Chains A and B, each alone.
Chain A
Amino acid sequence: MGTVIFPEWLNTIIRMVIPMGIILALAPVGMMYLTWLERKVIARIQDRVGPNRVGPYGLLQPLADGIKMLTKEDLVPEGADRLLHFLAPVLIVVPALFLFTLLPFGPGWVAAPLKTGLLFFVSIGSLGTLAIFMAGWGSRNKFSLLGAVRTAAQLIAYEVPLVLGLAVIPMITGTMDLGDIVLAQQGRWFITTPWGAAGFLILLTAGLAEVARTPFDLPEAESEIVAGFHTEYSGMKFALFYMAEFLSTLALAGLLSTLFLGGWWGPVFPGPLWMGLKTFLLICVMIWFRGTFPRFRMDQLMGFAWKVMLPVSLMNLLGAACWALIPGIGGDLMSLILVFGAFLITTQLWLAPKPQLTKKWSSRILEQP
């Protein structure tokens, strides 16, 4: 009896296929229990009990929801583009699943250890915009179309600070491989550096906007545009939009803990447990936001992205450069001053009362001969 030695090609296949299979099997389950967690936590915030009828602590509630969704009639509005209407929920889930293949859950525990993992994560993550627009256009409903247009505007606005905020990581680590980024945080998690703390906040804000969660949930602002781009979806297709939203929330929390909270580094416990714990805490913070924050107004949302987030994330790049080039406390201070100064100045400019350019109509009438 000796150890069985697989041929090289079989080894490769096993190494790739097994983690991918695990992701495909576990991601939907994780998403289902995320809905349960969210409902429970929000219920507590709002002084309610939340789901508690189906199973102990309502633990079987997601399963019951799934069965309910399966038995609901699938309506397609008259005159809709049936192909786009069908493809949109499919195409929004697939990129969200891709995101998990890139996250390192433990030392070497990554399904696809790409050298350009960071860039691949962003590019795959932004594919959802297309599916959302397909849903809005294909439904042939005014609310859907307005919701899709609005969502596209929001997603592209926050894409820019998101990508710029990510660029500080390869500046300091010199790599875009997510596993190597975690390795680089062995001694010091990036959130403890000034540019890391600012980058974490920038990415948390922009990321929340990208996955359209409170306070950036304008795409589904029910008081204005019914349910936005998924107004005309029912049954399982509707559930798939929620699945995509929760999956990308999970992936966002995973990315943030990978990049700034040291990924799987931590004392005593094994790495994957730490990664899970950090992701879980970030998810809880996001649910807490949802329970407490009001929604942005559309012009505030766009103004915040273009007038505050964009310059602040650029200044954070400069701050990180200063931190790397100036040794000692000087670099820390310089980095802090740049980001904080940019934030103070841009928020003042953004919130300043706008100059009244046109005269009031009454004075214009009086001027006329």
Chain B
Amino acid sequence: MSDRLIYFFLGLFGLAALVVPLLPIVLARFIAPKRPGPVKEQPYECGMEVEGDAWVQFRMHYYVFAILFVIFDVEALFLFPWAVIFKQAGIAGLWAIGIFVGVLLLGWVYAWQEGALEWEQ
């Protein structure tokens, strides 16, 4: 069976799988009571009156992590094709991938030195 056919059926599976979450939601819409009220619909804030909006700008102190994630996740993706042919590629392939990973690891050491890996400074 070709992979393309399997992907086609996986797509169909995705459509069919939508039923699993949608069916109970729709059922609940008919069964569950609906008594909205102004106090009930306030965002939860531990019973206190709501103070300000949640959609404001605030400091995301992990954008450095996000950048590091992109670097290392792409690296991991590049590792997979090499991993599949690892035995044919042999020592030469190991050297090549070693240099590739090594360069990224240098960057990782630098990031650690600069304190980019600390959650809160």
> Which residues of A are in contact with B by a Cβ distance under 8 Å?
12, 15-17, 20-21, 24, 27-28, 66, 69-80, 86, 89-90, 93-94, 97-98, 101, 111-116, 118-119, 139-145, 149, 153, 156-157, 159-160, 163-164, 167-172, 174-176, 226, 231-232, 235-237, 239-240, 243, 298-299, 301-303, 306-307, 310-311, 314, 317-318, 321, 324-325, 354
Contact = CB atoms under 8 A, between A and B. Distances in A.
Given A139-B43, A240-B24, A307-B112, A302 B33 contact: no
A20 B10 CA distance: 9
A117 B96 CA distance: 26
Contacts of B19: 24
B14 A141 contact: no
B18 interface: yes
B79 A97 contact: no
Contact of A324 (B43, B86, B105): B86
List 10 A-B pairs, minimum CB-CB distance, nearest first.
Answer: A299-B119, A163-B76, A141-B43, A236-B28, A170-B83, A156-B69, A78-B41, A93-B21, A171-B83, A16-B9
B103 interface: no
A78 B65 contact: no
A170 B43 contact: no
Interface residues of B, number: 68
Contacts of B25: 74, 86, 89-90, 236-237, 240
Contacts of A310: 72, 108
B102 to A, nearest CB: 10
A160 B73 contact: yes
Interface of B: 1, 3, 5-7, 9-10, 12-14, 16-22, 24-25, 27-29, 31-36, 38, 40-46, 53-55, 60, 62, 65-66, 68-69, 72-73, 76-77, 79-80, 83-87, 90-91, 94, 98, 101, 105, 108, 112, 117-120
A172 B101 CA distance: 19
Contacts of A311: 105, 108
B86 to A, nearest CB: 4
Given A12-B5, A73-B35, A140-B43, A24 B17 contact: yes
A79 B69 CA distance: 33
A141 B44 CA distance: 7
